[in-house]
Amino acid sequence: MTIKDTLIASLVPIFLGFGFVIAKPAMIDFPPILLMGLRFTFAASILIWWFPIPKGYLLRIFIASLVANTIQYSVTYSGLNLIDASAAVLLVQTEVPFGVLFAYFMLKEKPNIRSLFGILVAFVGVYILTGSPSLEGKFLGIFLTILGSGIWALGQVLVKPLSKELKPLALVAWLALFSGPILILLSNILDGNSIDYIKSASTNSWLIAIYLGFFMQPVTYGCFYYVLKNNPLYKVLPIVTMGIPLTGLLAAILLLGESPTNELYLGGVIILLGVVLIIYTKKGKNFN
């Protein structure tokens, strides 16, 4: 991975970790699925005009969008709505081991023994983290957050081939165009009349939705797909996700006033150790 790609990839967790945490207060006014629908609709509304219809790719984009955006964000942010943001930003680190597993089976990107050990270590960290008193009785939130991480990783495996054939922002635009309206419709079915939530939402919640859609989505995923185009998934995912705990925890503590427990810190450190083991692999020692 080049220095340029590494630097660009490093921008992603800065915006993503902050955005992940500040989305939680907006859920007071917007149901999680509706908030994500607005996010993708906003992103599509400013990007779609700059790129021609990707004829021949629409079905593949729709399938990738259904998994990586529609289903994943519905599940992950519904989980975030049920647990503390400080715990959620650590649990989403499971995207890395899930990503390595999916990349192995679907893209034939073979991890070595150290990577496999890192996956095991990461899930030990998850086990410890979920024993935190702050997560007691919140199994559904934990389950949805981890499930969402797995779905996200699967979605990126589906997106990677498209990232080699389409411009990064074009991919962001068309993925968002498919997922935004579907999420809003889904929220309307599950949560009730979306117009009522939209009319009654506070200014702060609207500012968060605007940040997520008009800024975070284009910037973070534009950078992510740019780097993903030229590098194996198992190398990109760790760099993208490892910075999320730092920015996410700081945002949760400073902006939301959360107080992470010792179990959260210990479990988070062990998860990150597993991620580091996955990152630092040696060529020629792949698992076959």
Q: Which position has the higher pLDDT, 6 or 57? A: 57
H/E stretch holding 167:
none
Residues 256-267 pLDDT 10s? 887 777 777 787
User: Can you tell me whether residue 281 is helix, strand or coil?
Assistant: coil
Q: Which position has the higher pLDDT, 168 or 32? A: 32
Cα separation of 274 and 272, whole Å?
5
Cα separation of 260 and 91, whole Å?
13
pLDDT at 280: 61
Task: Look at residue 284 and tell me whether its pLDDT is greater than 50.
Answer: no
In angstroms, how far is CA 95 from the centroid of its own chain?
Answer: 8
The pLDDT of 116-127, averaged and rounded, is 76
pLDDT at 46: 92
Q: Tell whether pTM > 0.95.
A: no
Q: Both tokens of residue 84? A: 């503390």
Q: pLDDT class for 222, splitting at 50, 70, 90?
A: confident
Residues 48-77 pLDDT 10s? 999 899 988 999 999 999 999 999 999 999
Q: Which residues have CB under 8 Å from 139's CB, separation 6+?
A: none
Backbone φ and ψ for 136, nearest 5 degrees, come out as: -60, 130
Residue boundaries of the structural domains of the chain: 3-279
Cα separation of 186 and 182, whole Å?
6
Let me know: does 92 contact 20? Beta carbons within 8 Å: yes
The pLDDT of 225-238, averaged and rounded, is 76
User: Can you tell me whether residue 31 is helix, strand or coil?
Assistant: coil
Average model confidence (pLDDT) for the chain?
Answer: 83
Residues 71-121 pLDDT 10s? 999 999 999 899 888 788 778 877 777 877 787 777 776 767 777 787 778
**What stretches of the chain show up as alpha helix (H) in DSSP?**
3-26, 32-47, 58-65, 72-80, 85-91, 95-107, 113-129, 139-163, 168-191, 194-200, 203-210, 217-230, 233-242, 244-254, 262-279
